[in-house]
Amino acid sequence: MLAYTYVEQGQFALLDKPKPVLRDPRDAIVRVTLASICTSDLHIKHGSVPRAVPGVTVGHEMVGVVEQVGEAVHHVKPGDRVTINVETFCGQCFFCQNGYVNNCTDPEGGWALGCRIDGGQAEYVRVPYADQGLNVIPEGVSDRQALFVGDVLATGYWAARISEIRPEDTVLIIGAGPTGICTLLCALLRHPRRVIVCERDPARQRFVQEHYPEVLTVSPAHALEFVRGNSAHGGADVVLEVGGTEASFRLAWECARPNALVTIVALYDRPQVLPLPEMYGKNLTFKTGGVDGCDCSTLLQLIAAGELDTTPLITHIFPLAEIDAAYALFEGKRDNVMKVAITIS
């Protein structure tokens, strides 16, 4: 089968590899139908994910059809259309039992697919702990509608969930890339009074304006003044920082009103500093982390009910045979790309 593979630092290639087989009774083999490229794939390509080993098949955002299951798998069966979770988790340990699946203590747990073990930019993928990692796609929901459930949409949902958004709140979201848009959609589900998106790229600002006209947009240079002028208490009640730069981190706490909640969704490439003397008396609450991707069935229900639609994020589609070109476009941020879908079978 064809599998897009991390060959060495700076190089991915579409290689012919053996089809994966069940290794554990809790495994499933999934025939991948549609996959996507994530910024984390680029981090692997450039060698900044040391636990990703050369030779591994990349890809951790995909949907498909269950081909085969181990004897201990009970929630899915061959023929089921499924979303695949970016995180592998056991469902049994303290953290899994409390919904903190990102911190699963199982040695196989965490971001494994497309990083430590073969992922899904390939014709088939082996999914460990399939009862936890696979969710059946409801009838009437297409592959395109379900594509982001296991990773970027799960992240947006988790971020909005832990941010305790209330109806009277002004919510500021910093960053309108794919994760920022998913965070925006999930924040909107909670119907806050006002949502402001701060984004430096004019094309991404326009994307927000066109698709979500009820949302206010602003560039970073004007954000502080704008947020103060458009909130009831001198700043945002809730800030979700998805930008991932030093400047966006600073904006996050600057734009927050005293006693606000700031959720850090972004992954930074270096440490960030909080100037505590300057912030003294602001009494902010910070929440930080990596996605607990345990709300996938809820997300699928919301999609089936028409309450959540991430299909506008798919701006480009390529067949697996042309995945090199898809990466070049995504990595070069050409042609106003948001997300690229890869059709596989």
Where on the chain is the footprint of Zn ion (CB under 5 A)?
38, 40, 89-90, 93, 96, 104, 106, 151
Interatomic CA distance for residues 103 and 95, integer angstroms: 6
Least spacing, CB of residue 132 vs Zn ion, in Å: 8
Least spacing, CB of residue 51 vs Zn ion, in Å: 15
Backbone φ and ψ of 166, nearest 5°: -115, 160
Indicate the residue among 129 and 253 with the shorter CB distance to Zn ion. Answer: 129
Least spacing, CB of residue 39 vs Zn ion, in Å: 7
Indicate the residue among 34 and 38 with the shorter CB distance to Zn ion. Answer: 38
CB 126 within 8 A of CB 284: no
Least spacing, CB of residue 153 vs Zn ion, in Å: 11
Interatomic CA distance for residues 31 and 27, integer angstroms: 13
Interatomic CA distance for residues 331 and 172, integer angstroms: 27
Indicate the residue among 80 and 106 with the shorter CB distance to Zn ion. Answer: 106
CA separation (Å) from 27 to 91, 97, 121, 131?
14, 20, 18, 8
Interatomic CA distance for residues 136 and 84, integer angstroms: 9
Indicate the residue among 102 and 217 with the shorter CB distance to Zn ion. Answer: 102
Least spacing, CB of residue 190 vs Zn ion, in Å: 23
Q: Within 13 A of 224's CA, how many CA atoms are on the CB side?
A: 8
Indicate the residue among 260 and 294 with the shorter CB distance to Zn ion. Answer: 294
Q: Within 13 A of 257's CA, how many CA atoms are on the CB side?
A: 17
CB 296 within 8 A of CB 85: yes
Indicate the residue among 87 and 237 with the shorter CB distance to Zn ion. Answer: 87
Least spacing, CB of residue 259 vs Zn ion, in Å: 33
Indicate the residue among 107 and 277 with the shorter CB distance to Zn ion. Answer: 107
Residue 287 tokens, joined: 């929440």
Indicate the residue among 104 and 238 with the shorter CB distance to Zn ion. Answer: 104
Residue 162 tokens, joined: 């832990």
What b/e sequence results for 185-210 when a residue is b if at least 16 CB atoms lie within 10 Å of its CB, and e otherwise?
bbbbebebebbbbbbbeeebbebbee
Indicate the residue among 85 and 231 with the shorter CB distance to Zn ion. Answer: 85
Least spacing, CB of residue 327 vs Zn ion, in Å: 14
Residue type, 325: A
Interatomic CA distance for residues 58 and 4, integer angstroms: 6
DSSP bridge pairs for 238: 171, 261
Least spacing, CB of residue 334 vs Zn ion, in Å: 20
Least spacing, CB of residue 179 vs Zn ion, in Å: 9
CB 4 within 8 A of CB 57: yes
